[in-house]
Amino acid sequence: MRLPSITVLPLLASQAMAIDLQPSDPVADAPARLIISRDSKAPNACDVELYLNEQVVATLGPDQHTSLDVPSGQLSLAVALSPSGYCGGTGPTAAQSILVTPGETRHFDIVVEPDQVFLSPRLDD
């Protein structure tokens, strides 16, 4: 015997209402992501070293970028001209402290000027 389709629809509708459409809370141990980009219009072709918690994690040339999965929480970021090559950087200047939450993505630009190199948060994301 074939059931009328009207009796099947309420069953499907009640199942659809049971689905939780709310986003889940972030997982406490989930990593955050940092995206660091270097402008191609830098005044020189020197490489820049990226420091995360006082350790070099990447070296970027003009128009390069990197993506890092990092633990959530407070981190220290710094940049410096690479000591290799003719640039002969002297190491990082003052580090900046950032706080990232689980699952968060933050984007920073490396700004190279004739007298300094620093990180700037990208606001257009």
pLDDT for 11-46, tens place per residue?
444 444 444 444 445 455 789 999 999 977 766 778
What does the pLDDT read at residue 27? 55
What does the pLDDT read at residue 84? 77
The owner of tokens 């620093």 is: 118
Name the fold adopted by 25-121.
Answer: Immunoglobulin-like (2.60.40)
Stated pTM of the model: 0.71
What does the pLDDT read at residue 59? 92
What does the pLDDT read at residue 62? 86
Question: What single string gives the DSSP state of each residue in 62-122?
Answer: TT-EEEEEE-SEEEEEEEEE-SSTTS------S-EEEEE-TT-EEEEEEEEETTEEEEEE-
Q: How many residues does the chain have?
A: 125
Residues of the chain with pLDDT under 50: 3, 5-24, 26
What does the pLDDT read at residue 99? 94
